Chain A
Amino acid sequence: AQSVSQHNHHVILSEAASLELGCNYSYGGTVNLFWYVQYPGQHLQLLLKYFSGDPLVKGIKGFEAEFIKSKFSFNLRKPSVQWSDTAEYFCAVNAPGYALNFGKGTSLLVTP
C-alpha cells in the first residue's frame, strides 16, 4: 500500500536552531515529492517540490529538501529557524497527475 510517514509529530526549537524533519514514503513507480506548510488558520502552501533531476531542492523561505531514492526519503531542512516558521509541515507524494498522499504532519513550534 502507498504510504507517507513523517517521523516527528511535534518539534520544539529555539530560534536560530537547525531543523530537519523526516519523511519516508512507500510508493511504486515514478513519484513527485512535496513539502507543504500550513500556518495557523491558513491554507496549505507549497514549500518545495521534487520531480526529477538534482536531488537537493531549494524552496521558499530558506527551506531545502534532499531526495534519497535508496532510502525512499525526502527530508526537509532549514539551517536556522525563525519564530515565523511556527506551523504544521506536511510531506506529500503522488504519481504525476494523481492525488496527493499526505503524511500526518509535523507541528513545529519555534520559541523566541
Chain B
Amino acid sequence: DSGVTQTPKHLITATGQRVTLRCSPRSGDLSVYWYQQSLDQGLQFLIHYYNGEERAKGNILERFSAQQFPDLHSELNLSSLELGDSALYFCASSVHGSEQYFGPGTRLTVT
C-alpha cells in the first residue's frame, strides 16, 4: 500500500459523458501528478499540481481538467468522453523533487 488512494476503482460510462476521478495523496505530500496508461500510448503524463497550483501540463486534452483542493486531494475531470479515453488513470504523489508513489488507479471504460 503506497498511501495514495484513488476512487472509484472502476468506472463505466457512455460516450459524451463527464466523469470525475479522485485522488488523495500520501500524508505530507504536496505534489500530485496524473498519468494515463493505455495499451497503445503507454504511460503518459497528464498534469501536475503542487500545493494547489498547477505546475505543468503534459499530453492532456482540452476536454480534461484537474484541480487540487486545500486539503491536497485532487480531482481529474474528463468530459465529452470518447471511446479512446478508455484507459487506466493513475495519480502519484511526492514530496517535491523526490520519488513518486502511485495510487491503485481508476479503470475507465467508455462504451
Contacts and interface: CB of A to CB of B under 8 A. Distances in A.
Given A98-B48, A99-B48, A105-B42, A46 B101 contact: yes
Interface residues of A, number: 20
B2 to A, nearest CB: 7
B45 A100 contact: yes
A49 B101 CA distance: 12
Interface residues of B, number: 21
A36 B102 CA distance: 10
Contacts of A36: 102
Contacts of A25: none
Given A96-B97, A99-B56, A100-B33, A45 B102 contact: yes
A43 B90 contact: yes
Interface of B: 2, 31, 33, 35, 42-43, 45, 48, 56, 58, 90, 92, 96-97, 99-105
Instruction: State the 6 A-B residue pairs at the shortest beta-carbon distance, nearest first.
Output: A99-B45, A102-B43, A44-B102, A97-B97, A96-B97, A43-B104
19 contacts: A32-B99, A34-B99, A36-B102, A43-B105, A44-B92, A44-B102, A45-B2, A46-B100, A49-B99, A97-B97, A98-B48, A99-B45, A99-B58, A100-B33, A100-B45, A100-B92, A102-B43, A104-B42, A105-B42
